[in-house]
Amino acid sequence: MDKSRSERLFERAEKRMPGGVNSPVRAFRAVGRHPFFVEKAQGPWLIDVDGNKYLDYVCSWGPGILGHAHPRVIEAVSRACARGLTFGAPAAGEVELAELIGVCVPDVEMVRLVSSGTEAVMSAVRVARGFTGREKIIKFAGNYHGHSDGLLVKAGSGLMTQSVPDSAGVPAGYAASTLTAVYNDEESVRRLMEENRGEVAAIVVEPVAANMGVVPPKKGFLEFLRRITQENDTLLLFDEVITGFRLALGGASAYTGVHADLYTFGKIVGGGMPLAAYGGSRDIMSCVAPLGNVYQAGTLSGNPAAVAAGIETLKILMEDTGIYERIDRRAQRLETAFRKEGLTVNRAGSLLSAFFMPDCEEQGGTVENYEDACRCDRKAFADYFNSMLAKGIYVAPSQFEALFVSDAHSDGLIERTCGAISESLMKRYK
Ligand code: KE4
């Protein structure tokens, strides 16, 4: 596999950008090689600058539910760009997207569009604090909610990849207001709520965790979070940057039947463009400036080109909800292939992760929380990643990320992937 142009670009990149990348997990450090540089993407394919073609199961970490460069989305964005890239003033598309989000997720009576998932969660937490007048929040070890200071505590995703669950540069005061519980462990939540009675503004949770690998909520866990927050006048915040419009058109509340007070969305809602959102009931969202006294703003919030991508993506999903059955079925086929090779697999809809448990637990190990996920054999994962890449299949370069299936991953390509899984793993467990 020729990598020469990527290598030359990476050499230049490292001189000008930390680690040569604009987001740490892209650096491939957990899998012991340099990243490839992408030339273009189409459907389920990424093509790198050396002409290598990869079947893409990262899908840009989630936005790509339709596959890359869907013609209708490209057309919508091109039309929007021709009318001007940014106005810094309201435009009709923002209203249409806000209305579509509310149709898909009826709990979101009012929404604010922003430019990244980090910004959405950071803002929603500020709303929870402003609305309740309380300062503390509870999050879960291994959940990742973007890189705002108060949420970089025992976080997942790239922090786990670098095995640094907290970040330097976060003032102790911020971390002090962020309490960390154990995902799927009701007692750990109950204890924190009792120790901080009347002080917790919100419980912030990934309703299906996907940043320590995929870890679905155990039966009753979300229902418990809903009950204990209602009993304590604490808000429940579903961070649906990954699960929103992914698990179902209505996201986690539709998929699980549990309803939150505040929601954050990213990735799919922007159709691959820099757009995210936070929202909830009119009562709660009315505290956001200029209506209320919780300030949040953004030069490019509701950017017309990004809004065009989001609108077209949601319209396609709304027109053909059969997509969810198709991508879930294909993800289930991949789950079967991994299980056949003895791996522990967690799956929720079209999100899944195969865990490389230590040999002693290779059969029947379970991953239900951050501690379980940390036990995984990262070397074995790296070997699997590189073996799959050599076969032209690009999975996330970290054990602690999800595998994303798009509507562009045909049944034939899924079967090809199952074959590659079997070839890549047979040496490990047999
Ligand atoms: P962004 O700021 O990266 O748009 O969104 C932050 C975020 C918030 N909440 C959840 C549940 C998320 O998963 C994310 C971002 N996800 C990671 C991948 N697991 C983004 C990839 C990266 O950091 O490069």
CATH number at residue 414: 3.90.1150.10
State yes or no: pLDDT of 385 exceeds 90: yes
Residue 64 forms part of a structural domain = no
How far, in Å, CA of 389 to CA of 31, rounded?
11
How far, in Å, CA of 276 to CA of 344, rounded?
32
Q: 272 and 308 share a domain?
A: yes
> pLDDT tens across 135-166, in order?
999 999 999 999 999 999 888 888 876 656 68
Residue 372 φ/ψ, nearest 5 degrees? -60, -45
Which one of the listed residues 56, 107, 239, 383 is annotated catalytic? 239
**Active-site residue 324, yes or no?**
no
Which range among 84-88, 131-135, 156-160, 317-321 shows the weakest confidence by mean pLDDT?
A: 156-160
> Mean pLDDT throughout 179-197?
97
Which one of the listed residues 136, 139, 154, 267 is annotated catalytic? 267
Q: 40 and 158 share a domain?
A: no
How far, in Å, CA of 67 to CA of 45, rounded?
8
Q: 196 and 78 share a domain?
A: yes
Q: According to the model, what pLDDT value does residue 159 have?
A: 81
Pocket of ligand 1 (CB under 6 A): 23, 25, 61, 116-118, 121, 144-146, 157-158, 206, 211, 239, 241-242, 266, 276, 401
For residue 315, what are its two tokens? 């319209």
Q: 314 and 326 share a domain?
A: no
State yes or no: pLDDT of 416 exceeds 70: yes
Token look-up 């899984």 returns 421
**Active-site residue 384, yes or no?**
no
State yes or no: pLDDT of 354 exceeds 80: yes
Please name the residues in contact with 318: beta carbons below 8 A apart, sequence gap of 6 or more: 100, 103, 104, 249
State yes or no: pLDDT of 348 exceeds 60: yes
Three-state DSSP at 90 gives coil
Measuring from atom 20 of ligand 1, which residue has the nearest CA? 61
Measuring from atom 18 of ligand 1, which residue has the nearest CA? 61
> Mean pLDDT throughout 386-399?
97
Final residue in a domain of this structure, among 285, 319, 353 = 319
How many domains does the chain fold into?
2
The CA 210 to ligand 1 mean position distance, Å, reads 10
> pLDDT tens across 243-300, in order?
999 999 999 999 999 999 999 999 999 999 999 999 999 999 999 999 999 999 999 9
> Mean pLDDT throughout 354-369?
78
Residue 127 forms part of a structural domain = yes
Q: 100 and 234 share a domain?
A: yes
> Mean pLDDT throughout 323-346?
96
| Percentage, residues of the chain above pLDDT 70 | 97
Q: According to the model, what pLDDT value does residue 430 have?
A: 46
State yes or no: pLDDT of 44 exceeds 60: yes
Please name the residues in contact with 338: beta carbons below 8 A apart, sequence gap of 6 or more: 345, 352, 354, 421, 425
Please provide the average confidence, as pLDDT, over all residues in the chain: 95
How far, in Å, CA of 210 to CA of 146, rounded?
13
**Active-site residue 154, yes or no?**
no
| Percentage, residues of the chain above pLDDT 90 | 90
> Mean pLDDT throughout 13-39?
97
DSSP string, 213-248: S-BPPPTTHHHHHHHHHHHTTPEEEEEETTTTTTTS
Measuring from atom 6 of ligand 1, which residue has the nearest CA? 146
Higher pLDDT, 334 or 164: 334
Measuring from atom 13 of ligand 1, which residue has the nearest CA? 242
| Residue 357: band (very low, low, confident or very high) from pLDDT cuts 50, 70, 90 | confident
User: What's the pTM value of the predicted model, to 2 decimals?
Assistant: 0.97
77 within 8 A of 32, measured Cβ to Cβ: no
Final residue in a domain of this structure, among 319, 349, 383 = 319
Q: 334 and 307 share a domain?
A: no
State yes or no: pLDDT of 362 exceeds 80: no
Residue 230 forms part of a structural domain = yes
CATH number for the domain that contains residue 93: 3.40.640.10
Q: According to the model, what pLDDT value does residue 155 have?
A: 81
Q: 200 and 155 share a domain?
A: yes
244 within 8 A of 267, measured Cβ to Cβ: yes
Q: 42 and 131 share a domain?
A: no
The CA 158 to ligand 1 mean position distance, Å, reads 9
| Residue 126: band (very low, low, confident or very high) from pLDDT cuts 50, 70, 90 | very high
The CA 142 to ligand 1 mean position distance, Å, reads 13
Measuring from atom 21 of ligand 1, which residue has the nearest CA? 61
State yes or no: pLDDT of 175 exceeds 80: no
Would you give the end-to-end CA distance of the chain in angstroms? 28
Longest Cα–Cα distance in the chain: 63
The CA 24 to ligand 1 mean position distance, Å, reads 11
The CA 145 to ligand 1 mean position distance, Å, reads 7
Q: Which atom of ligand 1 is nearest to the CA of 157?
A: 19
Q: According to the model, what pLDDT value does residue 163 have?
A: 55
263 within 8 A of 279, measured Cβ to Cβ: yes
| Residue 228: band (very low, low, confident or very high) from pLDDT cuts 50, 70, 90 | very high
Give the distance from CA 143 to its chain's centroid. 10
350 within 8 A of 330, measured Cβ to Cβ: yes
- The residue to mutate among 17, 61, 247, 268, having the most atoms of ligand 1 within 8 angstroms of its beta carbon, is 61
- The residue to mutate among 26, 157, 206, 262, having the most atoms of ligand 1 within 8 angstroms of its beta carbon, is 157
Q: According to the model, what pLDDT value does residue 360 have?
A: 56
Q: 39 and 99 share a domain?
A: no
Tell me the residue range of the domain where 420 lies. Answer: 4-57+321-425
Q: Which atom of ligand 1 is nearest to the CA of 276?
A: 4
Final residue in a domain of this structure, among 274, 301, 319 = 319
The CA 199 to ligand 1 mean position distance, Å, reads 27
Token look-up 């540069």 returns 169
> Mean pLDDT throughout 55-59?
98
The CA 144 to ligand 1 mean position distance, Å, reads 7
Is the sign of the CA dihedral 103, 105, 111, 116 positive or negative?
negative
- The residue to mutate among 145, 241, 264, 351, having the most atoms of ligand 1 within 8 angstroms of its beta carbon, is 241
> Mean pLDDT throughout 337-364?
86
249 within 8 A of 324, measured Cβ to Cβ: yes
How far, in Å, CA of 274 to CA of 116, rounded?
6
